[in-house]
Amino acid sequence: MNLIGHIKQQHFFRQTIAASQLSHAYILHGTQGIGKKQFAIELARGLLCPERKIFKPCDCPSCTQVIERAHPDFYLFDDKEGLSIENVRNVSEISGTTPYSSKYKVIIFDNVHIMCQASAAAANALLKTLEEPGDNTIFLLVTHKLDRVLPTIQSRSLKVNFDPLADKELGQVLATIDSSKDWKPTIKYAQGSVANAVALSDLPIERLIQCIDKRDLAGFGTIFLALSDKDTLIPVIGLIQSWFLSKYKGNLKPEYALFIQYMNKVIKNLDYNVNMPLVLFDFFTKLEEVV
Ligand SMILES: [Zn+2]
């Protein structure tokens, strides 16, 4: 699949590669669900491609192997086991060896913040590896929670920030997921994130917004209190926030400002194991007070 969006970042890496100024480690960070991991894979594909097709389609054997996750110099860790201490130790060994068939070895850790949160030992092992990188090994660390990544890991890496997708780009990506679906209503509230759009797509969000607009709390509650997972609640709170901000632009009463702060806190707390019905109930009660 062609990479959609992130033109500035593509340009940056093209220039860096052309000038032979690649660093050993990059942190690709930005909002969740905007294609950072896909970008990292595409970058890896280009780096390993003997034709040097950077961010350009290519069906050479090397590129095909990367897409199939079967390239001997390509490592992608995007699950829990990948972030374990044993695995990071293995990676450390791998990074000291010479590439099999390409100029580089590329190692991608997706959601690297989870490693920092879950296992100090694994994070420290990664840090050690970054301190003594093997020649021709490139680490791509992907995260939507940069503040959870060890500062020492951050200082050993070059940070590349990714912006949310533009609505048109988001539409293009969503069409590749399901071309028969009308994504328009969702795109408006997805804040440039594919993950948000997918999470919101099964909800009557226009109706939800109408209910807040008309102060119809009963109607709002029927939809809101039935939400059952965090992945949906986060973008829903996001859309309530943006409703407040656009409605009261320039005239944000203190109680509304406090409510927006409260919403930020709820989103943050949802990272941890929380009791969903309790969170929803508390949120709804606070909303009732404010509205
Ligand atoms: Zn190729």
pLDDT digits (tens, 9 = 90+) for 16-48: 999 999 999 999 999 999 999 999 999 999 999
Integer Cα distance of 204 and 185 in angstroms = 9
Kindly give the distance from the C-alpha atom of residue 1 to the centroid of ligand 1, in angstroms, as a whole number. 13
Kindly give the distance from the C-alpha atom of residue 68 to the centroid of ligand 1, in angstroms, as a whole number. 13
Kindly give the distance from the C-alpha atom of residue 40 to the centroid of ligand 1, in angstroms, as a whole number. 15
Amino acid 97: pLDDT: 87
Please list all protein residues whose beta carbon sits less than 5 angstroms from ligand 1, which is an ion: 49, 51, 53, 58, 60, 63
Kindly give the distance from the C-alpha atom of residue 160 to the centroid of ligand 1, in angstroms, as a whole number. 24
Where do the structural domains in the chain lie, given as residue ranges? 7-162, 203-290
Q: Which CATH architecture has domain 7-162?
A: 3-Layer(aba) Sandwich (3.40)
pLDDT in tens, 195-248: 999 989 888 888 988 998 898 999 999 999 999 888 889 889 988 888 888 888
Strands 137-143 and 105-109: parallel
Q: How would you classify residue 257: left for phi > 0, otherwise alpha for psi between -120 and 50, otherwise beta?
A: alpha
Q: Are 74 and 44 in contact (CB under 8 A)?
A: yes
Residue 282 scores a pLDDT above 80: yes
What percent of the chain is predicted at pLDDT more than 70? 100
Kindly give the distance from the C-alpha atom of residue 65 to the centroid of ligand 1, in angstroms, as a whole number. 9
Kindly give the distance from the C-alpha atom of residue 153 to the centroid of ligand 1, in angstroms, as a whole number. 31
Over residues 129-134, mean pLDDT? 87
The count of other CB atoms within 10 Å of the CB of residue 99 is 17
Amino acid 143: pLDDT: 97
Kindly give the distance from the C-alpha atom of residue 61 to the centroid of ligand 1, in angstroms, as a whole number. 7
Give me the phi and psi of 42, to 5 degrees please.
Answer: -65, -40
Residue 1 scores a pLDDT above 60: no
Kindly give the distance from the C-alpha atom of residue 41 to the centroid of ligand 1, in angstroms, as a whole number. 13
Q: Are 25 and 138 in contact (CB under 8 A)?
A: yes
Over residues 116-122, mean pLDDT? 87
Amino acid 270: pLDDT: 83
